[in-house]
Amino acid sequence: MRKLFALLLVAAMIFTLVACSDEKKPEEGGLIKVGVINNPPSESGYREANVNDFIKVFTKENGYDAKFYYSIKNDEQLSTARQYITDGVDYLLISAAETTGWDAVLKDAKDAGVKVFLFDRMINCDKSLFEAAVVSNMANEGDTAVKWLLDQKLPEYNVIHIQGAMGSDAQIGRTGALDAQFAAGTMKKVVQQTATWDEAEAKKIVESVINSGEKFNVIYAENDGMAKGAVAALDEAGITHGVGKDVVVMGFDCNKWALRELLAGNWNYDGQCSPFQAQVISDMIKNLEAGKKIEGLNDAKQIISVEKGFDAATLTQADIDTYGLGE
Amino acid sequence: MKKAKTSKFFAKNAQLLIPLIAILLLVIFNLIRDPSFFSIGISANNRGDPVLQGNLVSILNGASELVILAMGMTLVTAAAGGQDISVGALAAIAGSVFVKILKGGAVTGPTVLLAFLACCVAAMLFGAFNGSLVAFFRIQPMIATLILFTCGRSIAYWINGGATPTVESPIINAIGSFIPGIPIPTPILIVIVMGILFGLVFRFTTLSLYVQTVGINQGAARLNGVNTVGIKLLAFIILGVCCAVAGTIGVSRLGLINHETLLINIEMDAILAVAIGGNNLGGGKFKMLGSVLGAYAIQMLTITLYAMKVPSTDVKAYKAVVIIILVVMGSPVVKNSMSRFWKKLKRNHPAGEKEVA
Amino acid sequence: MQDDVVLTMRGICKYFPGVKALENVDFTLRKGTIHALMGENGAGKSTLIKVLTGVYPMDGGEIRIDGVEDAIVIRSPQEAQGYGISTVYQEITLCPNLTVAENMFIGRSRKSRVDWKQMEKRSGELLQKLGIPARPKQQLGNCSLAVQQMVAIARAVDTDCKVLILDEPTSSLDDKEVEMLFTLMRQLKESGVGIIFVTHFLEQVYAVSDQITVLRNGQLVGEYEVRELPQVKLVEKMIGKDLEDLSSMKKKETVLDGEDFYEARGLASTESRPFDFHIAAGEVNGFTGLLGSGRSESVRAIFGADPVTGGTVKVNGKQVKISKPLDAMKQGIGYLPEDRKRDGIIADLSVRENIILALQVIQGMGHPISRAKAEAFADEYIKALAIKTASSDTPVGSLSGGNQQKVILARWLLTHPQYLILDEPTRGIDVGTKTEIQKLVLQLAEDGKSITFISSEIEEMLRTCSRLIVMRDRNIVGELKGDELSQERVMRTIAGGGE
């Protein structure tokens, strides 16, 4: 029985592998062949938006013959990259699961004349191995948010800081700027605790502060979900929040539902790490195809995405439609 | 005579000592640290209803999902001699089904009930899937449930498509937060209902006897006419219902389902609760009350750490230390030496014994 | 210490809370002898062995061993081993998935590197020397139980062994295997090892031992030379009363021609070949044959314990389907399994829960027996069968073997079965309890119940059964009743070729 079951599992795995590696389509003239390797959309709302962005931009109408592959496992990504090179793609677009282990594949790509773009995540390798990388500067996000907070000119800043999973890029970027303010004494740290992106945990943290009776007037949550958790705790305790109320609520990610909270005045600020990188890459590819050079790269061959931050006072429905994630 | 009875009571419930001592120590620790830690007050929430406030309420409220899952986990542990590590993922699936149905139309009393029943059915089916792997194919529970542990949250994602769909409704708020006019958080009430349900099931069926029989000696159970496959399957299906209830509470707290974080890592806490409750993780005899107390002890520890403002990076280390102490305290080696010490004490002070009587 | 004495224990005392397990017990073992340690269950045999092997600390007395000047204190089995005292237990404690050679040497060397070649060579020599029919490279699990037992002994004696303790080594062996084991024991005895032999089988004591020490209720009854102590006297010393009880027991001539309660044609399971069988109301019959002859498998098929593969079954003349134990239970059939530890008791549950289990299952999941009722049932049967337990709340696993057996018996009696199958109900239990169980069987038959009885002790079968079905190599080879029921006739039928 066990053996049979193991066999079934293996069969299922093989099936999914086969299913993922699209059947070959007949060569079509004039289309630029692109292989996109990304993390699976189920990873987060951010990733979902990112995946959809690439699907939206790299279409036949835009002159592309694109293949997509999603995995959170580096080795699966690597073998797919090799497959794409063998299939003869013109461009390889990669958001790697891990930063290491890519040298050999990227060299193969170079030898085969396949041009590589990185997006969202950098890879630890020689920068001659790729054309350009479109990435976010996480610290930028935090800076933008904290600058906005300082601009509010509150009489005092007593901040509850709810962090994401410790050590993740987003957590480090969003924590840094606020830590600097705590260190400088311009803001008071009431509590700084990780909820590891968990909404329910964020609620418990805020509850514990409320129960201790300490004063606070700012909630800085490192994503929308945790901000929502924090607000639930405020609601239960009868503490008002939002534009012109007792507590300033700040979140990140710009989910559509979160932006609607902003529009309703329940929250004050939402920052975003831009998941929209496809158009920038498409523009660069079109440039290369036209024989032009890529411009605007920094020393590390990076293009830094522009980060957005929305203020409840100035947010419009059009912004929600354009930049909001999800539904 | 009376003394004999009380000592018999203690002997039968000795396994509850560990979680009780843990809770007691945390209570004492918190009272020393901050005498007002357990103060409870009533204030109005943002809807204008009076509600209970305070750390004690937070602990009881926050532990609800864990307590419910620990109840189901106790049954599975006892019957199958192993643990279900997919409860968090299964709760996420159940929560997703709940939200999916509510997003299909207006949120009214009947639709909420329908959504809850649907998510129960879904969770029971997945529970039956786990259960049949364990009971019928005799795969070790941890391996069998590893499948759903791995892919469960992806399934939860597929159900709704979006990352974090939300539902807003006073009814949802009433389930996850407070029913207007009742100052006790609804999740606490749901835990009480679940406790009563389990109590009734144990009182009016032989489930408890059968589960223990199967867990202790499967071969003998079969020869005495007990349907061993059916009992294991049933344990997993009941755990499925627990997942559905926990998932519904989790979703209703914020009116949002995040398939990645809903009740994340709760399987480990649930297993830990069963262990702290003095239950044998290898199956057999069980005391559900032990697991429930264990769950509250874990939650109390978490809230204590928050109140102490332990740095984010250190939280897990602190938790680990306390858990090591608890688990070692409950280990057979320590238990045996404690009981030897106890007997020695009794022998040396027969006079003291008289006083107690 | 005398020259020929290898071990003396003097005035050994051991107390457990409320119990004097051993009081002033003396024991002397001489070189090159086999010394049987006898007594009913609870007499203190196991405790004495455990004191000697350092499992329990003793509360008084002294132990001296050949080659050591002073009295020794043994605090652990490892220390015992250090003094040359090795033990082989009833349950085989080796690893079935390792080879014979690995089993003989593993865990004995402090070196991290093992010289496999050397190990195989040495174990090969030892196996040959002791005449054990096994190859060093053979996987232990593939050997017969007897050979596994012998490998365990070889492992024990290889470590410069002065005293070898064999604790019920024969309980799962058949006669031929027992003989193999005895050959090995005699050989070891020749080489000067002193052997302490603990067993329930009286015949075996007489077959192989030189001396007998009898314990009763934790006290020494005496030490005897085997040839000076007839078997009947030994039993009397063990139970402390004379044997009128046993000899006065007479089998009732039960009705053989009455209505069949149960009848099977071509009944077969995954474990048993097709066979016909019937039993009348009020009849006591039995399956006999060597271990592994298929007698247990046949009764298991009747109860539906193994998946049934064919045949028709009639109960009270009506055709019924019995494919699982619950079906049989619903027809009023009860089954006391051969291996009570594995198939019978639910060790961690209380005596009460164990007693009501079968009745509860028959009643169904939605009709739990109330606590008060269960209490009453348990008390009734604890009293009726004289089950020695502190209370009905005591976990059944902490009871002695005989009392566990009585609990399982109580479990089935409580269901008021029409037909009770008892597979080895008297194995490993003391003489007193054995008699009680035999009496009970006859009593039940008198009340019109049908009983099928299996026992390794043919005498016991002859005393109780009015019809014996003899099996060999998984087939029924004969049926004996009336005058044919004699030990000699049974043996000849079992052996075959005698008809």
The mean predicted confidence, pLDDT, of chain C is 85
User: Do C261 and C193 sit in the same domain of this protein?
Assistant: no
The residues of chain A that CATH labels 3.40.50.2300 are 25-136+275-295, 138-273+309-323
Least confident of C63-77, C239-253, C441-455: C239-253
Q: What is the mean pLDDT of residues C469-478?
A: 87
Higher-pLDDT residue of C294 and B232 is B232
Helix B141-160 crosses helix B109-135 at what angle (to 10 degrees)? 150
**Residue A301 burial (10 A CB sphere; 0-12, 13-18, 19+):** middle
Adjacent-strand bridge partners of C372: none
Give the residue from C217, C243, C269 where a domain finishes: C243
Angle between helices B266-276 and B288-307 (to 10 degrees): 120
Contacts of B264 in chain A (CB under 8 A): 196, 198
Tell me which residue in B205, B224, B284 faces C325 most closely, judged by beta carbons.
B224
- Between the two ends of chain B, the Cα-to-Cα distance in Å is 9
Total structural domains within chain C: 2
More confident residue, A289 or C492: A289
- What tokens were used for B281? 């993780």
pLDDT of res. B352? 44
- Residue C126: pLDDT band with limits 50, 70, 90: confident
Q: Is A88 left (phi over 0), alpha (psi -120 to 50) or beta?
A: left
Same domain, yes or no, for C418 and C435?
A: yes
Identify the CATH assignment for A138-273+309-323 out of 3.40.190.10, 3.40.50.2300, 3.30.930.10, 3.30.1330.10: 3.40.50.2300
Distance (Å, whole) CA B289 – CA C395: 20
Its ipTM equals 0.86
- C107 confidence band (pLDDT: 50, 70, 90): low
Asked if B46 lies within 8 A of A235 by C-beta distance, the reply is yes
B330 touches chain A (CB under 8 A): no
**A45 — contact with chain B (CB < 8 Å)?**
yes
For chain B, give every domain's residue range. Answer: 17-307, 310-357
The yes-or-no verdict on residue A10 having pLDDT over 80 is: no
Candidates C120, C194, C128; CA nearest to C157 is C194
Q: Is the CB of residue B51 less than 8 Å away from at least one CB of chain A?
A: yes
- pLDDT score of C232 more than 90: no
Angle in degrees, 0-180, between the axes of helices A199-212 and B228-254, rounded to the nearest 10:
60
**DSSP-based three-state secondary structure for A91:** strand
How far apart, in whole angstroms, are the C-alpha atoms of residue A199 and residue A229? Answer: 5
The whole-number average pLDDT for the span A160-178 is 90
Share of chain C above pLDDT 90, in %: 37
Give the residues across from C451 on adjacent strands: C284, C420
Q: Nearest Cα to B92, choosing from B211, B266, B227?
A: B266
Are C343 and B219 a contacting pair at CB < 8 A? yes
Q: Is the pLDDT of residue A322 over 80?
A: yes
- Residue C290 and residue C187 share a domain: no
Q: Inspect the interface and report whether the beta carbons of C357 and B217 lie closer than 8 Å.
A: no
Chains A, B in contact, 3 or more Cβ pairs below 8 Å? yes
C216: CB partners within 8 A, 6+ apart: C39, C40, C43, C237, C238, C239, C240
C342 & C196 share domain: no
* Cβ separation C345–B217 shorter than 8 A: yes
Query: pLDDT band at residue C112, thresholds of 50, 70 and 90?
Result: low
Question: Is residue C92's pLDDT more than 70?
Answer: no
> Which of C243, C260, C291 is the last residue in one of the domains?
C243
Fold annotation for A25-136+275-295: Rossmann fold (3.40.50)
CA angle C324, C328, C331 (to 5 degrees): 145
Where is pLDDT greater, at C322 or C181? Answer: C322
What CATH number should be reported for the domain holding residue C454? 3.40.50.300
Least confident of B192-206, C79-93, C461-475: C79-93
Q: How many CB atoms lie within 10 A of CB B217?
A: 25
Do C239 and C252 have their domain in common?
A: no
Residue range C316-320: mean pLDDT, rounded? 93
Find chain B residues with C-beta within 8 A of A192's C-beta: 309, 311-312
Q: In this predicted model, which residue has the larger pLDDT, C77 or A56?
A: A56
* H or E element in which residue A302 lies: strand A302-304
Under a CB-based contact definition with an 8 Å cutoff, are residues A107 and A125 in contact? no
- Confidence grade of residue A12 (pLDDT, cut at 50, 70, 90): low
C366:B204 CB<8 A: yes
Q: Read off the pLDDT band of A20 (50, 70, 90).
A: very low
The reply to whether B64 touches chain A by the CB within 8 Å rule is: no
Second-level CATH architecture of B17-307? Orthogonal Bundle (1.10)
Q: Do A139 and A169 contact (CB within 8 A), yes or no?
A: no
The stretches in chain B having pLDDT less than 50 are 1, 351-357
Q: Are residues C26 and C53 in the same domain?
A: yes
A88-92, A146-150, C204-208, C234-238: lowest mean pLDDT where? C234-238
Rounded distance between C-alpha atoms, residue B288 and residue C85, angstroms: 46
Nearest one of A326, A320, A295 to A308, comparing CA atoms? A320
Q: DSSP character for A191?
A: E
Pick from A52-56, B157-161, C219-223, C274-278: least confident: B157-161
Q: Which of residues 210-239 of A touch B (CB under 8 A)?
A: 210-213, 224-225, 228-229, 232, 234-239
- Taking CB atoms and an 8 Å limit, are C361 and B207 in contact across chains? no
Provide the domain limits for residue C477.
248-495
Give the span between the Cα atoms of B290 and B277, in whole angstroms: 4
Averaged pLDDT, A32-51: 87
Mean pLDDT in residue range A153-179: 92
Q: Write down the pLDDT at residue C18.
A: 65
User: Are the CB atoms for C448 and C282 separated by under 8 Å?
Assistant: yes
pLDDT at residue C41 tops 60: yes
Q: Which long-range contacts (CB under 8 A, 24 or more apart) does B274-277 make?
A: B274/B70, B274/B73, B274/B74, B274/B77, B274/B83, B275/B327, B275/B330, B276/B18, B276/B19, B276/B22, B276/B323, B276/B326, B276/B327, B276/B330, B277/B15, B277/B16, B277/B18, B277/B19, B277/B70, B277/B74
C498 band by pLDDT with thresholds 50, 70 and 90:
very low
For range A161-169, the mean pLDDT: 89
Residue C294 pLDDT > 70, yes or no?
A: yes
First to last CA, chain C: 57
Mutate to test the interface with B, among A211, A240, A260 (most CBs of B within 10 A): A211
- Asked whether B and C share 3 or more beta-carbon pairs under 8 angstroms, the answer is yes
CB contact B254 to A (< 8 Å): yes
> Residue C130 is which amino acid?
L
Q: Which two tokens stand for residue C222?
A: 């005496």
If asked whether residues C260 and C188 sit together in one domain, one would say: no
State the count of interchain CB pairs (< 8 A) between A and B: 129
Strand order in the sheet with C85-88: C85-88, C163-167, C194-198, C34-38, C211-216, C219-225
Identify the residue with better confidence: B193 or C141: B193
Provide mean pLDDT across the span C134-151.
Answer: 83
Tell whether C259 and C229 lie within a shared domain: no
Has residue A24 got a pLDDT over 50? no
Any chains having at least 3 CB pairs less than 8 A from chain A are B
**Least confident residue range of C18-22, C137-141, C361-365, C386-390:** C18-22
Say yes or no: C342 and C475 in one domain.
yes
Q: Are C149 and C204 in the same domain?
A: yes
Q: A99-133, pLDDT tens digit by residue? A: 888 999 999 999 999 999 999 888 888 889 999 99
* Residue B110: per-residue pLDDT: 94
Instruction: Say how far apart CA C163 and CA B34 lie, in whole Å.
Output: 66
Q: Which are the contacts of B220, defined by CB distance < 8 A and separation ≥ 6?
A: B213, C337, C342, C343, C344, C345, C346
Asked if C202 and C349 sit in the same domain, the reply is no
Q: What 3 state SS string does chain C have?
A: CCCCEEEEEEEEEEEECCEEEEEEEEEEEECCCEEEEECCCCCCHHHHHHHHCCCCCCCEEEEEECCCCCCECCCCHHHHHHCCEEEECCCCCCCCCCEHHHHHHCCCCCCCCCCHHHHHHHHHHHHHHHCCCCCCCCEHHHCCHHHHHHHHHHHHHCCCCCEEEEECCCCCCCHHHHHHHHHHHHHHHHCCCEEEEECCCHHHHHHHCCEEEEEECCEEEEEEEHHHCCHHHHHHHHHCCCCHHHHHCCCCCCCCCCCEEEEEEEEEECCCCCEEEEEECCCEEEEECCCCCCHHHHHHHHHCCCCEEEEEEEECCEEECCCCHHHHHHCCEEEECCCHHHHHCCCCCEHHHHHHHHHHHHHCCCCCCCHHHHHHHHHHHHHHCCCCCCCCCCEHHHCCHHHHHHHHHHHHHHCCCCEEEEECCCCCCCHHHHHHHHHHHHHHHHCCCEEEEECCCHHHHHHHCCEEEEEECCEEEEEEEHHHCCHHHHHHHHHCCCC
Same domain (yes/no): C13, C111: yes
Token pair, residue B247, equals: 């998932």
Query: How many whole angstroms separate alpha carbon A219 and alpha carbon A250?
Result: 6
pLDDT tens digits for C380-394? 999 988 888 888 999
Please give the pLDDT value at position C247.
46
Chain C residues touching chain B at CB-CB below 8 Å: 17, 303, 305, 324-326, 329, 335, 337, 342-349, 353, 357-358, 360-362, 365-368, 393, 411
Q: pLDDT tens for residues C397-407? A: 888 888 899 99
Average pLDDT, chain A: 88
The residue in chain A having the minimum alpha-carbon distance to the alpha carbon of residue B44 is A238
